[in-house]
Amino acid sequence: MLATGMDRTQQSDVFGVFLTIRSRLAGLIFSRVRDYSVTADLVQDTFLRLWERKSALRDVSDLAGYFLITGRNLASDHERRSRLAPVIADIAQLEHIADPHPSAEQFVAGRQELARLQQVIDAMPARARQVFVLSRIDGLTYVEIGRQLGISPKTVFSHMVVALERLQAGMQAG
Domains by residue range for the chain, with CATH: 8-94 (1.10.1740.10), 104-168 (1.10.10.10)
**CA angle 129-116-174, nearest 5°?**
110
pLDDT of residue 6: 44
Count Cα neighbours of 50 within 13 Å in the Cβ-side half-sphere. Answer: 27
With a CB cutoff of 8 Å and minimum separation 6, the contacts of 25 are 18, 43, 46, 67, 68, 71
* d(C-alpha 29, C-alpha 13), whole Å: 22
pLDDT of residue 104: 86
Tens of pLDDT, residue by residue over 124-147, are 999 999 999 999 888 889 999 999
Higher pLDDT, 23 or 93: 23
Count Cα neighbours of 34 within 13 Å in the Cβ-side half-sphere. Answer: 2
pLDDT of residue 5: 46
**Contact yes or no for 31/84 (Cβ under 8 A):** no
| Alpha helix (H) residue ranges in the chain | 8-11, 14-33, 36-52, 63-94, 104-122, 126-132, 142-149, 153-173
Tens of pLDDT, residue by residue over 36-86, are 999 999 999 999 888 888 888 878 889 999 999 999 999 999 988 887 766
DSSP single-letter state for residue 138: S
With a CB cutoff of 8 Å and minimum separation 6, the contacts of 130 are 149, 159
User: Which neighbouring-strand residues pair with 2?
Assistant: 60
Q: Per-residue confidence at 29, pLDDT binned at 50, 70, 90?
A: very high
With a CB cutoff of 8 Å and minimum separation 6, the contacts of 82 are 33
User: For the whole prediction, is pTM greater than 0.85?
Assistant: no
Average pLDDT of the segment spanning 1-28: 72
pLDDT at 162 over 80: yes
